[in-house]
Structure formats: structure tokens, C-alpha cells
Structure 1
């Protein structure tokens, strides 16, 4: 039997030239509470910092997760420049819809999109205390690198 929340989950994808994603990203990130902002940005982030981020960030794709038309999570797929580009995924889910599998489903879609684009090396960075993304990335097959920073985990998956 499928999870009732996941069965109602739909995804939107916004490309960089789509005019609608920046306000959606900003509103979602501003809606996050202090702990969620810390987990998403790895540092405390004020409203002004989030607005600057939303105005300046250059993701290759923004993925939105919706339940019954309501946005409940976002993943950003960032792609580095170079002859062998790598991807990085940033993920956030609204506090009131957590622990329902939305983050994992959104993360899987972001990984699949990176693979579809031919990106074989995908990275994620998260606070050591963020057990939700640790479980999500472990299930997806990401390997944690040896500690460089005592508070931040770096993990990746390669084809």
C-alpha cells in the first residue's frame, strides 16, 4: 500500500529562464523556521540574506514538491562549470510536512534529473546534526567523505 502523502505528491520543474521560480524560492525559504534555515544554508540566515540569495542564485533547475497544489518542498540543482561539471543538490521541506517521505522523494527526483543531464558526480553538504538528510543521502547511495569540518558533512555519489 502506498503512503497517502506520497501518492498525492506532484513535482514542478523550473528552468533558469522561467520567470516564476525566484519568487517561489524566496517565499519557500522565508517560510522556513530558524532551525530549517540553519540546516539549509549551514549558517543562520536572516530574511535579508535569504532575499539576497533568492535574487542571486543560479541553479540549473529548481524542483518543487506539491501536495494538493500546495508547495511543501524545494530542491535546487546547481551545476558547476568546467569540462567535467559536477552537480550539487540543496533541499528544504516545510516543517509541517516533514517525516512523510517528501524530502526523500524530492531528493530522488533531483538525483535523477542530474543523471538525465549526464552529470555523474553529485554532491551534498549538510550539518552533522541533520539526521533527515543524512538518512536520505545514505538511502540514495551517497558516500560521506572523511571529516574536514567538524560540523559539516560532505557526501557524494558518482556513476
Structure 2
């Protein structure tokens, strides 16, 4: 069995797997962040596969502000999938001449904060109460997040490129 990890742009044939992974990770395809609701299934995406199976997904948007990572999910953590997807997103950003890769995570997401900071991203902004505001648009956002931490704030991280 081939355990090689391959990352590539998502294709139309990946849609069902993408929607299922987003549903499992995000409770649906709607992601509300920095006051905006995204349908992550409609965004450009990178998929990671191992032996033909979906190992991870990164959705993004490119604007004048750079390449924004909207979602990043590894089916199994600590297997190199997230790092490979992040590297591929940086390559996409460089390819389009973006000045940075950036994302927003929440105050409870300690594992993500560790992951991103170890890869050179820095916290550049904190939006107190932003998750509380997002909960109005997406009531399924829990009140308590990972590690039993009350979920209230958004943190923006960036990697200048």
C-alpha cells in the first residue's frame, strides 16, 4: 500500500468528499469568520490524498489582502497532512503574487495556534467577541470550545511571503 501523500487542487469529482469532510469538521459547509459567511464547498481548495483516500482539505480565497485560508482539516492529525497543505497554499499564494497567507482561528484552538506558529505564522490581530457575533449568523457554533475553553474571540495569523 502506497503511503505517499499527494496534494493537488480539488476537482469537481471531489465535491462529495469535500462536502462530507466540511460537514464532519465544521457542522456543514458554512463557515462564519471575521463577520463574513463563506460556503467553503464553493471556494478553491487543495486536497491531500494518501493511497487514494482523502487525508485533508484546505479551502481558501485570494483577494488583494492575500491568500486567506478559510478551512484546514486533516483527517488524522500529526501525520504531515496539515503541513503539506499549508506548504501548497503558500506555493499558490506565491504563484499569484500574493503578499501574505493569512487566516483566522478562535481563542480555544490551542492546537492550531501551536501548528501555525511553529510554521512561521504570527498573531497580528485579536477580535474580542467576534465568535459571539458569528454565533448570531451560525447558532450551531458552540459556547465552549476545545479544552473546555469558552469560545469568544478570533485571532488573525499571517505569514508574509
TM-score > 0.5, shorter chain as reference: yes
Q: Which of 39, 43, 59 does residue 53 from structure 1 map onto?
A: 39
Higher helix proportion, which one?
1
Aligned pairs for 1:38-117 within 5 A = 41=31, 53=39, 57=42, 59=43, 61-80=44-63, 84-89=64-69, 90-94=71-75, 97-117=76-96
Change over 3 Å in CA distance of 1:112–1:142 after alignment to 2 = same
CA RMSD of aligned residues (A): 2.7
What is the aligned length? 130
Q: SS state of the match for residue 65, structure 1?
A: strand
Per-residue deviation, 1:85: 4.6
8 Å Cα contact 2:31-2:39 kept in structure 1 = no
Structure 2, unmatched stretches of 5+, are 129-151
Provide the C-alpha distance between the structure 1 equivalents of 2:14 and 2:65, rounded to a whole number of angstroms: 23
Q: 1:42 to 1:128 in 2, by over 3 A?
A: farther
Q: Which ranges of structure 1 fall in alignment gaps of 5 or more residues? A: 44-51
Give, in angstroms, the shift of residue 88 of structure 1: 0.3
Distance 1:42 1:93 in 2: 20
TM-score by length of 1: 0.68
